[in-house]
Structures are given as C-alpha cells and as structure tokens.
C-alpha cells in the first residue's frame, strides 16, 4: 500500500510539473508541445487541443501515437517526447 501511495505522489508531482510546462508554453517560453496519445483518447484530446491552440497559437503541437504501455512508461519515467 505504501508503494502505491509513493507512486501516486510521484504522479501528482509530475502532473503539477506538466501544468507548469503548459503555462510556460502559453507564456511563449516554448515553441513546441509534444503530446503522446491513444486513438481512444481523441474524443477528449481534440477539443482540448483546439482550446490550447486558441490560447497559444504560436505553439506548434506535435502528436505521437503511442501504445498504452509506452504512455504509462512515459508517465512513470517523465519521458520528454521532444527528444
């Protein structure tokens, strides 16, 4: 149970870091946003990306179609898709 708690804390920390990165994107500190996705998430992803592009039209959004395992591994390892 303790291991799950630590993993949840780490995921929340990474979520906070991701939110800060998005804010930095909107402020113009970055020029590209790399997004890993699954086809099954497109219903949610497309409207979110449309709103993001309205808020930050100068940011180029690059989509990466990943497997479920790749997405989970990326979250666990804080993988940066731009590299």
What pLDDT shows up at residue 82? 63
In the DSSP assignment, the letter for residue 28 is T
Q: For the chain, give the number of residues.
A: 83
What pLDDT shows up at residue 46? 93
pLDDT in tens, 6-61: 888 888 888 888 788 778 777 877 788 888 899 898 899 999 999 988 988 888 89
The token duo for 48 is: 């979110």
Q: Token pair 């906070």 is at which residue? A: 16
CA 46 vs CA 38, 64, 69: distances in Å: 12, 13, 22
| Residue 64: pLDDT band with limits 50, 70, 90 | very high
């Amino acid at each position: 149970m303790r291991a799950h708690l630590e993993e949840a804390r780490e995921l929340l920390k990474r979520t906070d870091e991701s939110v800060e990165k998005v804010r930095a994107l909107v402020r113009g500190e970055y020029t590209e946003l790399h997004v890993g996705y699954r086809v099954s998430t497109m219903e949610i992803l497309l409207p979110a990306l449309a709103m993001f592009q309205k808020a930050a039209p100068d940011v180029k959004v690059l989509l990466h179609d990943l497997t479920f395992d790749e997405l989970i591994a990326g979250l666990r390892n804080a993988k940066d898709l731009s590299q």
